[in-house]
């Protein structure tokens, strides 16, 4: 199986957290290996002080956006 770690800020801390969870699994008796670590998502945000029409963004830039109302 695969495990996802969320909430870590820099990439190094998410890698360290993943290694720690792999170590915990090993101590519990699972045959765990730490392989193929990747960063999947980076999320950022800021305030613009005006409403953003999400539908318009999806229509104009749909190949960059995943939107589910």
Tell me, what's the pLDDT at 11?
67
Find tokens 């870590």 and name the residue.
8
pLDDT tens-digit series, residues 31-67: 988 888 887 777 778 888 888 877 888 888 888 877 7
65 in Cβ contact with 53 (< 8 Å): no
What pLDDT was estimated at residue 27? 93
Q: What band does 29 get if pLDDT is binned at 50, 70 and 90?
A: very high
What's this model's pTM, rounded to 2 decimal places? 0.54
CA distance 61 to 69: 16
């Amino acid at each position: 199986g695969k495990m996802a770690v969320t909430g870590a800020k820099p990439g190094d801390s998410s890698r360290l957290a993943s290694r720690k969870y792999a170590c915990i699994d090993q101590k519990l008796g699972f045959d765990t290996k730490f392989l193929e670590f990747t960063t999947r998502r980076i999320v950022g945000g800021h305030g613009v002080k005006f409403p953003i029409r999400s539908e318009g963004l999806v229509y104009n830039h749909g190949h960059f956006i995943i939107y589910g109302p």
